[in-house]
A and B are shown apart, each in its own frame.
Chain A
Amino acid sequence: QKEVEQNSGPLSVPEGAIASLNCTYSDRVSQSFFWYRQYSGKSPELIMSIYSNGDKEDGRFTAQLNKASQYVSLLIRDSQPSDSATYLCAGPFGSSNYKLTFGKGTLLTVNP
């Protein structure tokens, strides 16, 4: 099993809707998780980080972490066409938490 499993999608939502992206992970030791956004032909950029159970909100983005169930999610409220991109979840794994490992990514398309 890969350390990070991500629903590869693709996901298509209308403008103004909520987009929901999910990841599961295999290592109970992992303490922090990250959501990156990658536009086509560009480098990944961090949009959210979460370190503790529960929700973390930043503008239209909410990250949710459930350590007992080993899943992390990202909600995008009031989705905009500019949110159309691939979203990657990532976490540090390995015996010393140095392996920053990514899921396969979910392609999100927001339709005007």
Chain B
Amino acid sequence: NAGVTQTPKFQVLKTGQSMTLQCAQDMNHNSMYWYRQDPGMGLRLIYYSASEGTTDKGEVPNGYNVSRLNKREFSLRLESAAPSQTSVYFCASSTKHSNTEAFFGQGTRLTVV
């Protein structure tokens, strides 16, 4: 049982390049999330998807776009990467919004130079 799978695990981008971080879950979860984690800042919510077909902004959405491709997959796109987007990105999923555990992927360490 893979759980939540993120790809890639590591990535180095040049400023201005674009890329898409992929996330897939095999637990039949309704809700999915994208977070970034920076030293001293905790986990900050970028975007979330309460259910298939819906997406909403979180705390730090600027510079990112998301797509809930289907129930399993939730991708995060950086259209024009900036050094400020250097971070560790985590995808997570949960069965429903309020009373259940969120499971996390292994993270993507992104460096923008």
Contacts and interface: CB of A to CB of B under 8 A. Distances in A.
A80 interface: no
Contacts of A6: 42
Interface residues of B, number: 26
Interface stretch (B67-75, B79-87, B95-103): B95-103
A100 B45 contact: yes
Contact of B50 (A49, A98, A104): A98
A53 B102 CA distance: 21
Nearest to A51: B99
A44 B59 contact: no
Interface residues on A, range: 20 to 34
A44 B56 CA distance: 22
A46 B102 CA distance: 8
A7 B48 CA distance: 26
Nearest to A105: B42
Contacts, number: 64
A45 B106 CA distance: 11
Contact of B102 (A31, A51, A100): A100
Interface stretch (B11-19, B20-28, B33-41): B33-41
A101 interface: yes
A51 B98 CA distance: 10
B42 A103 contact: yes
A111 interface: no
A46 B33 CA distance: 15
Contacts of B107: 43
Given A98-B50, A100-B33, A100-B48, A92 B97 contact: yes
A97 B40 contact: no
A44 B43 contact: yes
Would you list the 6 A-B pairs with minimal beta carbon distance, nearest first? A104-B42, A43-B104, A102-B43, A98-B50, A98-B97, A46-B101
Interface of A: 6, 8, 31-32, 34, 43-46, 49, 51, 88, 90, 92, 94, 96-105
Interface of B: 31, 33, 35, 40-45, 48, 50, 56, 58-59, 90, 92, 94, 97-99, 101-102, 104-107
